[in-house]
């Protein structure tokens, strides 16, 4: 029978950037949550007394968020303590075991049901930020980028793959792309914190997912966030993520990390018309071959494209990567 885990052994490490005091006239609305591994954890909402009537519906939404995050990232990281949120004047923050909640019960619909995107995002940091923690502010995209990718996974889970693809297509036009996401080492918070660590960082995971395929990528992502080597007091760097995904995919991912994280360049895909309805498609700035969806008059096929190029027959100008799995620049001639 499932029961709450006894608190034995060493206490959890605490991520010290997220400790905060809050004082208010709260009611504490509690439940017991059963984790994906069957352990019982106290689930608490410190809600301002005037909002107490909204707490049960809010906890229903929260439970759905917790289940979904556990599906992709494994059991809630602090199962021996508690899962909690506390109403605050600020919008939200990932305080370990007690997230700040300030979204004022504003919900959107995902899959026809109420969803709190801000709460989902902050809660995702229990894995990406608090359990997996960057060693250097320079690698801060690991917190925000992968956590934001988790927000897209909620959409994918409850609205399907087309909605997930749309999520990234829409986000791609919002990137500033003025400075790289990873700018070296020993960067302070001020310098590291730019908007692209969220959206562009998440988009990069979307790219890696497409390249590896769902059946390899999702187990790999879960393996990373549940591996002792990369969690709790073992801090991580971008190189750790790069080496891990290289190992899991069986391909050297450094050129991809260099292009999309360490530079502001896009993948350059060159399409050249040739005689007799043929087209040469090649990558101009990538040393490794990559899978790309190529759409011709005969339909869409996933093809391996490299710097030498591949030839395709088509009665129309081919379209590459129609679903936008890559941040790209297409050159046609
Ligand atoms: Zn965040």
Q: Tell me the CA–centroid distance for residue 223 and ligand 1, in Å.
A: 21
Structure token digits, residue 316: 């129309």
Question: Is the pLDDT assigned to residue 28 strictly greater than 90?
Answer: yes
pLDDT of residue 307: 97
Residues of the chain within CATH 3.30.2010.30 domain(s) are: 17-105
- Does residue 295 carry a pLDDT above 60? yes
CA 148 / ligand 1 centre spacing (Å): 7
- Read off the pLDDT of each residue in 240-269 and give the average, rounded to a whole number: 98
pLDDT at 184 exceeding the cut of 70: yes
Gap from CA of 213 to ligand 1 centroid (Å): 26
Kindly write down the DSSP assignment for every residue of 210-267, as one continuous string: HHH-HHHHHHHHHHHHH-GGGSTTS-B-HHHHHHHHHHHHTS--HHHHHHHTS-S--E
User: Separation of 15 CA from ligand 1 center, angstroms?
Assistant: 14
Alpha carbon of 150 to ligand 1 centroid (Å): 11
Report the separation in Å between the CA atom of 52 and the middle of ligand 1, taken as the mean of its atom positions.
26
Entry pTM? 0.94
Helix (H, G, I), strand (E, B) or coil at 94: coil
- Average pLDDT of the chain is 94
Q: Give CATH for domain 17-105.
A: 3.30.2010.30
The ranges of the chain annotated as CATH 1.10.390.10 are 137-260
Where are the domain boundaries for CATH 2.60.40.1910 in the chain?
268-332
CATH topology of domain 137-260: Neutral Protease; domain 2 (1.10.390)
Task: Tell me which of 146-155, 171-180, 236-245, 287-296 is least confident.
Answer: 171-180
Instruction: Return the SS3 of 107.
Output: coil
251 CA distance to ligand 1 centroid (A)? 29
User: Can you give the pLDDT at residue 4?
Assistant: 67
Q: How far apart are CA 202 and CA 144, in angstroms?
A: 8
Q: Where are the beta strands (DSSP E) in 121-172?
A: none
Of 298, 89, 325, 49, nearest to 210 by C-alpha is 325
The residue-averaged pLDDT of 177-198 equals 88
pLDDT of amino acid 10: 66
Q: How far is CA 74 from CA 105, 178, 293, 331, in A?
A: 27, 35, 31, 42
CA of 206 to the centre of ligand 1 (A): 17
State the distance from the centre of ligand 1 to the C-alpha of 227, rounded, in angstroms.
Answer: 22
Reading the block at residue 187, the tokens are 């960067």
Length of the chain: 333
Ligand 1 centroid from CA 8, angstroms? 31
- CATH tag, 268-332: 2.60.40.1910
303: CA distance to ligand 1 center in Å?
Answer: 35
Once rounded to an integer, what is the mean pLDDT over residues 25-42?
97
Closest CA to 210 of 176, 174, 139, 260: 260
- Centroid of ligand 1 to alpha carbon of 115 (angstroms): 17
- Of 74, 39, 45, the residue nearest 61 (C-alpha): 45
Rounded distance from Cα 34 to ligand 1 centre (Å)? 25
From 297, 303, 290, 294, select the one nearest 316 (Cα to Cα): 297
CA of 137 to the centre of ligand 1 (A): 14
Of 128, 298, 105, 280, the residue nearest 205 (C-alpha)? 128
Confidence of residue 6 (pLDDT cuts 50, 70, 90): low
Q: Which residue has the tokens 């899978």?
A: 291
127 CA distance to ligand 1 middle (Å): 11
pLDDT tens-digit readout, 78-99:
999 999 999 999 888 888 899 9
């Amino acid at each position: 029978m499932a029961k709450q885990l006894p608190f034995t052994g060493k206490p959890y490490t605490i991520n010290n950037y997220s400790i905060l005091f809050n004082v208010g006239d709260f009611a504490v609305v509690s439940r017991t949550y059963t984790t994906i591994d069957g352990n019982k954890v106290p689930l608490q909402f410190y809600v301002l007394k005037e909002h107490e009537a909204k707490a049960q519906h809010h906890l229903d939404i929260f439970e759905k968020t917790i289940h979904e995050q556990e599906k992709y990232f494994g059991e809630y990281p602090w199962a021996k303590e508690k899962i909690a949120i506390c109403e605050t004047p600020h919008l939200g923050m990932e305080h370990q075991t007690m997230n700040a909640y300030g979204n004022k019960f504003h919900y959107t619909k995902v899959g026809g049901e109420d969803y709190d995107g801000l709460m989902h995002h902050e809660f995702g940091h229990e894995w990406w930020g608090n359990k997996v923690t960057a060693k250097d502010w320079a690698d801060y995209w690991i917190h925000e980028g992968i956590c934001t990718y988790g927000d897209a996974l909620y959409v994918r889970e409850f609205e399907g793959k087309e909605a997930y693809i749309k999520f990234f297509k829409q986000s791609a036009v919002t990137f500033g792309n003025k400075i790289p996401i990873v700018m070296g080492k020993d960067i302070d918070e001020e310098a590291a914190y730019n908007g692209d660590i969220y959206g562009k960082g998440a988009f990069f995971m979307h790219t890696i997912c497409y390249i590896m395929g769902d059946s390899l990528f999702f187990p790999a992502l879960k393996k990373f966030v549940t591996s002792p080597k990369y969690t709790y007091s073992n801090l991580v760097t971008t190189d750790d993520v790069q080496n891990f995904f290289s190992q899991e995919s069986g391909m050297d991912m450094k050129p991809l990390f260099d292009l999309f994280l360490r530079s502001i360049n896009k993948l350059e895909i060159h399409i050249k018309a040739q005689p007799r309805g043929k087209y040469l498609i090649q990558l101009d700035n990538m040393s490794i071959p990559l899978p790309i969806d190529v759409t011709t008059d005969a339909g869409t096929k996933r093809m391996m494209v490299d710097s030498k190029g591949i030839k395709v027959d088509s009665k129309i100008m081919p379209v590459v990567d129609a679903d936008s799995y890559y941040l790209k620049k297409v050159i046609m001639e």
